[in-house]
Structure 1
Amino acid sequence: MFTRARMQFPDILVLGATGRIGTILQRVWTSEVVHGHVLWHTRAAPPDQGQNWISFDPLTDPDALTRAAQGRCAILCLSGVIPGREHSGATLTDNIALALVALRSAAKTGARVLLASSAAVYGNQPGLLSEESPVHPVNDYGRSKLEMERQALHTAQDLGVQCCALRIGNIAGIDSTLGGWRPGFQLDQFADGRTPLRSYISPLTLARVLADLVHAPDLPDVLNVASPGAIEMGHLLDAAQLPWTPRAPQADVIPQVCLDTTRLSQFSSHASRINPSEAPPAEMIEQWRILEPNIQVLGE
């Protein structure tokens, strides 16, 4: 059973707090930390009118972002666009622009920046993928995240800002498998009977890992974020007792994405509590069910 424990927390700004990861953080951090230490940002109307929320568009009002970052030790940039969720003229190139405006505000305020990137930057590669592995994204989303990383890290060096790109693996419950399950769900199955293999992290664990990372003053430029090991999507659905029907692999399916989390273990011990490749991921499923009413589906 996952038990809650209070954490000491620095003052941070969370950009894009009404997105999928931000929704998880609101639920977990509100329960575990002094809420006043986190300033939550949204580009739409905030969920409430409390003093811990602020609303503006960073791309059209960068001065508002700078004001919001004053006195904050870190900016956690979750703002971004994913395929199928473009709205009001937003495009995947906004992922780059949002990262750069966060860095410019950080340069003026002394904050560090943590950017939500994605394991999609690795593309279709076998074996264990470390932060030094080649990057070969195969879709527009992965390419936009990789270009975001490149431009952001170059800009951070020029501005003297500490910046870390977080290559986040599949998040249980806001992925296309657990989160996307519906009656009649079909899943790619290869000729050997296997289903796609992925590195996963459960939502509550992710929240605690991110809490550790916003504390850490000397993060590397790039960091994989997942629990160690990997699990087949079919096994994950079986563990959750969600029936599925096998289908012939789609042309663009990636057989495996397995992240090396050795570097992450130097900054957070929470991710290593669950290794889904060693045992049925009962705790991962339990964490997902706790937050299921509050989180949305990740369509990547």
Structure 2
Amino acid sequence: MTIPEIVPEAARIDPIQSVLALWGAPGRPQEHPDLAMAAMDLAQAVGAGKVVHLSSAAVYGPVGKPVGEGAPLRPSSDYGRAKVEMEERVRAWTKAHPSGPKPVILRVGNVAGADSLFTNLRTGGRITLDRFADGQGPRRSYIGPDDLSRALAGIVSNPDLHGVFNLAAPRATSMVEIALATGAEVLWRPAPPEAQQDVVLDVTRLTEELPGFHPESCAQHLVDSARRSGVWP
């Protein structure tokens, strides 16, 4: 279905304030920039003032400390590179349409239930994780699906909020703790040289824009959130 075919249907409902472009193409990251452009065109066509895009912490590449939105973008994967291209094309579209909808780009950390860890976790099963020189496993910035929903609600309800924001809980979560919270048994292997122990987002900017928004990083909360949402298992 093309954008012109969608618009007549949209015109029959109440005015549309925001478009949430939460879609993706599993296994086909090269399609993400085109999907983002379709979202901007759709928002322009229906008169929405805002489009919320999901980018990723992958745009930063390997980082060893909490990283803010102003950090250089150095993606090390095709997925990360596709998200950088998506952001660049959104900015170019916005520049070419100064009176059009404003984008909100969310560089999201791991979403509980939807990342590779949860994909490989089974209650009562086994999972192998990297063990680093300090004897600990990997740590990541996570957010639960319910906290993600609350963030989106806060963003679309604030007409003046736009720009680029990191989105995750303010503290990183140990993947080992998540695995144990699901009832899985953790097996270990030595971390390879290219493995990254910490991927941590500095989320100060967004939490300041959304008073009262305090996403939780507790492993059990993340597991429960994934289950409540139906994302996992």
Fold conserved between structures, TM > 0.5:
yes
Paired amino acid for 1:100: M
After superposition, what is the alpha-carbon deviation per residue over 1:34-82, rounded to whole angstroms, capped at 9, x for unaligned? xxxxxxxxxxxxxxxxxxxxxx4xxxx1223444554211110012223
Q: Which residue of 2 aligns with 1:239?
A: 181
Q: Which residue of 2 aligns with 1:102?
A: 39
Paired amino acid for 2:115: D
Q: 1:248 to 1:260 in 2, by over 3 A?
A: same
Q: Is the 8 A contact 2:177 2:219 kept in 1?
A: no
Q: Which residue of 1 aligns with 2:19?
A: 75
Q: Which residue of 1 aligns with 2:169?
A: 227
Paired amino acid for 2:56: S
- Deviation (angstroms), 1:177: 1.7
Q: 1:66 to 1:148 in 2, by over 3 A?
A: farther
Matches within 5 A, 1:127-142: 127-142=65-80
Q: Which residue of 2 aligns with 1:295?
A: 231
Q: Which residue of 1 aligns with 2:5?
A: 64
After superposition, what is the alpha-carbon deviation per residue over 1:11-44, rounded to whole angstroms, capped at 9, x for unaligned? xxxxxxxxxxxxxxxxxxxxxxxxxxxxxxxxxx
Question: Secondary structure in 2 aligned to 1:227?
Answer: coil
Alpha-carbon distance between aligned partners in 2 of 1:152 and 1:214, rounded to the nearest angstrom: 18
Structure 2 residue corresponding to 1:268, chosen from 201, 210, 230: 210
Q: Is the 8 A contact 2:64 2:198 kept in 1?
A: yes
Q: 1:68 to 1:97 in 2, by over 3 A?
A: farther
Paired amino acid for 1:115: H
Q: 1:167 to 1:67 in 2, by over 3 A?
A: farther
Alpha-carbon distance between aligned partners in 2 of 1:142 and 1:73, rounded to the nearest angstrom: 29
- Deviation (angstroms), 1:273: 4.4
Residue 170 in 1 paired to residue 121 in 2?
no
Of the structure 1 ranges 251-260 and 192-201, higher mean CA displacement relative to structure 2 is found in 251-260
Alpha-carbon distance between aligned partners in 2 of 1:169 and 1:227, rounded to the nearest angstrom: 9
Q: Which residue of 1 aligns with 2:63?
A: 125
Q: 1:295 to 1:288 in 2, by over 3 A?
A: closer
Alpha-carbon distance between aligned partners in 2 of 1:296 and 1:97, rounded to the nearest angstrom: 28
| TM-score w.r.t. length of structure 1 | 0.69
Structure 2 residue corresponding to 1:212, chosen from 146, 151, 154: 154
- Deviation (angstroms), 1:251: 5.5
- Deviation (angstroms), 1:225: 1.0
Q: Is the 8 A contact 1:76 1:113 kept in 2?
A: yes
Q: Is the 8 A contact 1:96 1:145 kept in 2?
A: yes
Alpha-carbon distance between aligned partners in 1 of 2:189 and 2:9, rounded to the nearest angstrom: 49
Question: Secondary structure in 2 aligned to 1:177?
Answer: helix
- Deviation (angstroms), 1:172: 1.2
Alignment identity in percent?
Answer: 32
For structure 1, the residue ranges without an aligned partner over 5 or more in a row are: 1-55, 84-90
Q: Aligned-residue CA RMSD in angstroms?
A: 2.1
Q: Which residue of 2 aligns with 1:146?
A: 84
Alpha-carbon distance between aligned partners in 2 of 1:113 and 1:189, rounded to the nearest angstrom: 40
Alpha-carbon distance between aligned partners in 2 of 1:92 and 1:179, rounded to the nearest angstrom: 18
Alpha-carbon distance between aligned partners in 2 of 1:144 and 1:231, rounded to the nearest angstrom: 26
For structure 2, the residue ranges without an aligned partner over 5 or more in a row are: none
After superposition, what is the alpha-carbon deviation per residue over 1:150-182, rounded to whole angstroms, capped at 9, x for unaligned? 111221122122011111111112222234213
Q: Is the 8 A contact 2:69 2:166 kept in 1?
A: yes
- Deviation (angstroms), 1:285: 2.7
Alpha-carbon distance between aligned partners in 2 of 1:179 and 1:69, rounded to the nearest angstrom: 35
Question: Secondary structure in 2 aligned to 1:259?
Answer: coil
Q: 1:180 to 1:117 in 2, by over 3 A?
A: same
| TM-score w.r.t. length of structure 2 | 0.87
Alpha-carbon distance between aligned partners in 2 of 1:110 and 1:262, rounded to the nearest angstrom: 31
